Structure 1
Amino acid sequence: MTLSRRRTLALIGGGVILAATAGLGAVASRKPRTALLPWDNAGLGDDPRKRALSYALLAPNPHNRQPWLVDLRQPGEVTLFVDTAKLLPKTDPFNRQITIGLGCFLELMRMAASHDGQRVEITPFPDGFDDRALDARPVARATFAADPTVTPDPLFAHALDRRSTKEPYDLTRPLPADTLDQLAVVLHGRFGGTIDAAEVAAWRAFTHEALRIEIETPRTYKESVDLFRIGRAEVDANPDGIDFTGPLFETLG
């Protein structure tokens, strides 16, 4: 069976990395099996870089394209490239969303490494960049070093609980006032948010309009539709893309 990038991370120079364990418990018979394997294999191996990467490849990314390539040939380093065959030229013409996904990959790698006693120094775009689009140059170079003083990232304890929620949100339940303050304590870099009702309403309207434009524009909607994976068999065969699973979708397969 050919392993897809959803289940593994291909390495430049040869080899693969399997992904991390998530304590999923029993998987319901109608859920995709092989597509969930990455969540059962993280943290394995002798190389701390590979252990960290086994979590990193579970990072959220646009349309679940998994657009990363990694070079481990230099000892103690991880060089990250974008797989230009995994870009979204219609829905993400400036590669903004892909870049955010690559940032999530790097952050999850750093978080995992911190729990392994590894300090990670990340240099973005070490060989320069084109501000119009991503290209074949490295997206980032990360240096790993054992450091007993490194502070484990407290958010890592929840990394494997992350899921893409496809259920309706309860819009009548307000976010507790101290939630943003709690997040600000553990997050790195700039962070912002609001629970102001008027501002929340404005952001909802903004995102609804953005979605409407994307759905009603044929070229952008087609790019998404081409990545729909409907039913367990299709998700297992193509574990990238946008999955639709469950009893209703199994009847459509």
Structure 2
Amino acid sequence: MTLSRRKTLALIGGGVIVAATAALAYDVTRLPRTASAPWAAAGRYADPRMRALSWAILAPNPHNRQPWLVDLSQPDTAILFVDRDRLLPHTDPFSRQITIGLGCFLEILRLAALEDGLEVTFDLFPDGEDPQALGAGPVAICRFAPTTAAPDPLFAQVPHRRSNKEPYDTARPVSTEALARIAQAAAAYGMGHTNDPAEVAALRELSLHAMRIEFATERTLRESVDLFRIGRHEVDANPDGLDFTGPMFETLRRAGLFTREAAMDTEGLVARSADAAFAANFQSAMAHLWQVTPGNTRTDQIRAGQDWVRINLAATELGLGLQPLSQALQEFPEMAGPYADIHGRLAPDGGTVQMWARVGYGPQVPPSPRWPLEDKIVG
């Protein structure tokens, strides 16, 4: 689940007057102290594998779970595992989205190594693939070796990439030319896109309908709410999940108006405000783009993730914002209707829609929290 932080907040907090003392005003304006440190630390390691990994941990991933663990015990090698404590069994029951996030990680690792004159080759799922679940075996054995290949210009956008969940500028269209340029970044399976007003309008409604199903399903809503990090102290303590920071969130937290318990009340103020915010947010989509793979193997999902982060970086280069619209692609039973609908629209000839996003020009947003790289090294 993704939230437009500022819009949701304005709706929840509308009409609430808090008589804050100077000390309280100072406290609620503080931001997390350590959660963004990995963004500044990227590239500042002596070991070239650590340098590449320090960039890879900035990759987009579902619910910001950061599900990667890396073994560096072998020279010139990094072995990637999935942290199975960070899966999303209700919204992502087959770990398809988690696998896509691991593909994003591997592609940024590759781009970062190229900056150091190294190529990385990947031996994917050497113990075999399981389409139903991610096991304890390696996701990829990554081998580093010198290369004369030129660096990829997309790497320059890694520190600037964001998943922009804010409303987009509805007075500023997204050109077909811009979408075509983004599509050129996809190396494995290509990218579909539309800025046709009628198609965009239909996809706006479908994205909101799917979001409302996820919200109305208790176990999928709970999976997201359990990952809320409300206020700077929670974000610093657990720099993953869905973060809510800034003066108004801190004020609402202190006032007891924004809690995990309140978020689970589907008839309550938080839920009503969030629904209105999502409606406004999704209605600001100025274009949509998507990825379709012919099959749906784990390797297909990894390749889709590699393309997905390249698409993100190309959009960043053009000043465009992307927000993944994952809900209609989720494989839990209550989502069967939107799942069939989106596949009928975007993959009429068959295949699996792996990613779908709204596109537009939005405000600048801060980076998502990250765990330090050292916390992700297991050998």
Q: Same fold (TM over 0.5)?
A: yes
**Partner residue in 2 for 1:66:** 66
The aligned runs of 1:23-42 (5 Å cut-off) are 30-42=30-42
Gaps of 5+ in 1: 1-27
Checking the alignment, whether the CA contact within 8 Å between 1:61 and 1:101 is kept in structure 2 is yes
**How far 1:196 sits from its partner (Å)?**
2.3
**Partner residue in 1 for 2:138:** 138
Q: Secondary structure at the match of 1:186?
A: coil
| Structure 2 Cα separation of the partners of residues 233 and 134 of structure 1 | 32
Q: Secondary structure at the match of 1:43?
A: coil
Give the counterpart letter for 2:85 in structure 1. Answer: A
| Structure 1 Cα separation of the partners of residues 115 and 246 of structure 2 | 35
Q: Secondary structure at the match of 2:36?
A: helix
The aligned runs of 1:110-189 (5 Å cut-off) are 110-147=110-147, 149-189=148-188
Give the counterpart letter for 1:173 in structure 2. Answer: R
Checking the alignment, whether the CA contact within 8 Å between 2:214 and 2:221 is kept in structure 1 is yes
| Structure 2 Cα separation of the partners of residues 123 and 134 of structure 1 | 16
Deviation per CA, 1:202-250: give whole Å up to 9, x if none.
3222222221111110000011001101111111111111001111111
| Structure 1 Cα separation of the partners of residues 133 and 90 of structure 2 | 13
**Partner residue in 1 for 2:104:** 104
Give the counterpart letter for 2:151 in structure 1. Answer: P
**How far 1:172 sits from its partner (Å)?**
4.1
Checking the alignment, whether the CA contact within 8 Å between 2:65 and 2:240 is kept in structure 1 is yes
Q: Secondary structure at the match of 1:38?
A: helix
Checking the alignment, whether the CA contact within 8 Å between 1:228 and 1:244 is kept in structure 2 is yes
Checking the alignment, whether the CA contact within 8 Å between 1:66 and 1:86 is kept in structure 2 is yes
Checking the alignment, whether the CA contact within 8 Å between 2:29 and 2:246 is kept in structure 1 is no
Q: Secondary structure at the match of 2:127?
A: coil
Checking the alignment, whether the CA contact within 8 Å between 2:62 and 2:101 is kept in structure 1 is yes
**Partner residue in 2 for 1:88:** 88
**How far 1:177 sits from its partner (Å)?**
1.8
Taking a change above 3 Å as real, the CA distance of residues 172 and 96 of structure 1, as seen in their structure-2 partners, is: farther
The aligned runs of 1:185-196 (5 Å cut-off) are 185-192=184-191, 193-196=193-196
Q: How many residues align?
A: 225
Larger RCO, structures 1/2 (Cα 8 Å, 6+ apart): 2
Gaps of 5+ in 2: 1-27, 255-379
Percent same amino acid at aligned positions?
60
Of structures 1 and 2, the larger Rg is shown by 2
| Structure 1 Cα separation of the partners of residues 198 and 125 of structure 2 | 39
**How far 1:163 sits from its partner (Å)?**
2.2
Give the counterpart letter for 2:45 in structure 1. Answer: G
TM-score by length of 1: 0.84
**How far 1:36 sits from its partner (Å)?**
0.6
Deviation per CA, 1:56-99: give whole Å up to 9, x if none.
01111111111111111121111111011111111111101111
Report the structure, 1 or 2, having the larger helix content.
Answer: 2
Taking a change above 3 Å as real, the CA distance of residues 40 and 29 of structure 1, as seen in their structure-2 partners, is: farther
Is residue 2:208 matched to residue 1:202?
A: no
